[in-house]
Structure formats: C-alpha cells, structure tokens
Structure 1
C-alpha cells in the first residue's frame, strides 16, 4: 500500500508566528530554519500517526481488496472519498460506481463499506491495481487542528 499526496495543504498546521512565540525568537534571522523545522515536525507526526493535519488530496494505492465488505483507510481524518478506481492489465481504468459503496468517515479508522451484496471490482493488475482518491485533514486552517497536536508540533520544533 502506498499514499501519494495529490494536492498539498495550503498552510502549515502551526504558523511561523506561533512557533517563534513558543521559541521566544524575535526577528527574522531564524525564519528559514524554523519554517523547515515546522515542515519536518509536520511530516514526522503525519507519517508516524497516519494523520493528515491540514486539508490535502491523497491517493491510496492498493494491490488487492480485503476479504471483507469493508476496507479500512490508512489515513485519518478523511473528509471525503472522491473515487475508487481499478486498473486493467492493459492500463485502462474503471471507476467503481459510487452507488455500490459509501465512505464511513466517522469511524476510526475511516473506511469504505460496500452496499448490500455488491462485490469489490477485481483489478486486472497484480500490483497497484486499486486507487482510492480522498480528501483528508482536520480542516483548512491551523485552528482546525486539535490543540494537543498543535502543542506536540511546537514541542518537536523546540526539541530539534
């Protein structure tokens, strides 16, 4: 399984001003370093905990479906599932009709659940035959990220 970011967040989960206030840094001499540390702390927390902090597009790539009527998504929170696509051996793609599944974004982890007795479509490729396009993240602004996570990011920035 792989995760590919298809659209990046428009803002970081903590602002440069917040980080500088936490570090008690005045002036702009260290802005580039602090910005880099914010990016590093964000990547560390997102990868380590399977989170998307600020709204972003992500494609989840799978080889096969589980032997179940649901598939758990390896990223949280998920705001929406845009599409589920399988790929044929010749490279052609088939979008799985959204009438056959629904996105359960309330559960943790989020998941895609089949309606009724609909089967999962079989990919023609043995590897990377399934792509699930999602919008993930707590929201568009740093204030949408839960405060304990924002504080953890500030602590990481200060630690490094």
Structure 2
C-alpha cells in the first residue's frame, strides 16, 4: 500500500495567530510577522506528527492510495475520516488502466478504518496489478472543524518545537505526555497486523 498526499493545507488555514497567542509572543512591534514562516513550519510539523500517530487527517486534503492486494469487500484505507471517493482505477498486469464508475463501488465510512467496497468487480490479476483510489479525507477545511482535543495537541506540540528550536532535537525527541493523552482516544488499534 502506498499513500500519496495530492494537496496541502493552505498557509491561510493554519492557526498562526492562535499559536502566537499560545506562545505569548509580543504584539505591536513593527516586525510582528517576522516569525510567521517559522510558526507555519512548526504547525505543519506538529500537524504531520499528530496525523502520523493517529492516522487521522485533521484538515481536508486529497490523497491517492495504491493497493496491490484487495481483500474481501475491500481493505481499510490508511487514514480517516474519508469524506468521499473521487475516482477508482483498476490497473492490470500489463499496465492498462480502467476507471470504474461510482456505481461500481461505495465508501463504507468509519471513524477509524473506512473502506471502499467493490460492487460487482474483482481485483485485476497478474504481476503489477493494483487498484488506485483517489479520495478526500479530513475533519474539514477550517481549523475550527478539527476536534478541540486534536487542535490543542497540535498547538502544544508546535509550541514545544518552537521552544526547543535551538536544542538540536535531543530533548524534544519524545512526544510530550500531555499531547499523548490528548490524542490517545483517536489512535487506531490494529489487531493481527492489520489483517481482518
């Protein structure tokens, strides 16, 4: 399975002002926006770390997943919440691609392990055969769409990155306990190595 992020969260959607307030950085100075690029980088890094630990996409974006093996009704997608499937392609062993219409599959939404269910077709056979799924995932397009505990976890982690920016990463290697406590209920528990 290979997951590719097709779109990125726009800078304007990230809560730079909220992180600035959380850090209690000064205001009213002529260079108040000088640190914004660094704050954006810390927010993106914190967002990626929280998403990596929870397998939840916090802010909506487009993805493509390539699956080499289709099990049963369909394997779970690697991230949640999935809001829609935009295209499903079958790639045969010779590299030929066929696009399936939306009547040939359906999304089984699930907060932890959403799946795409095949309706009347089977996985293509042969070496190199695969299924590609384009989909959108995320709680919403705005910062306020993200659940409050996950927003707080991102701010806490971004603040740690900011505060330890000169330490060379030695102390900041571990995720803080407060962040772990906030994200714990969102983590996906995998049993049997992900096999159903």
Same fold (TM over 0.5): yes
Q: Write out aligned runs for 1:20-99 (5 A).
A: 20-26=20-26, 27-66=32-71, 68-99=72-103
What is the CA-CA distance between 1:14 and the residue it aligns to?
4.1
How many correspondences in the alignment? 156
Q: Once superposed, what is the RMSD of the aligned Cα atoms?
A: 1.9
Partner of 1:8: 8
Write the distance in 1 (CA, Å) between the matches of 2:45 and 2:103. 40
CA contact (8 A) 1:7 1:56 kept: yes
Secondary structure of the residue aligned to 1:37 is helix
Q: Which has the higher helix share?
A: 2
Partner of 1:142: 143
Q: Which has the higher strand share?
A: 1
CA contact (8 A) 1:14 1:150 kept: no
Q: TM-score w.r.t. structure 1 length?
A: 0.87
Structure 1: state its 5+ residue gaps.
none
Q: Does 1:121 align with 2:123?
A: yes
Write the distance in 1 (CA, Å) between the matches of 2:111 and 2:144. 22
Q: TM-score w.r.t. structure 2 length?
A: 0.72
Write the distance in 1 (CA, Å) between the matches of 2:12 and 2:42. 11
Cα 1:25–1:76 shift into 2, 3 Å: same
CA contact (8 A) 2:81 2:111 kept: no
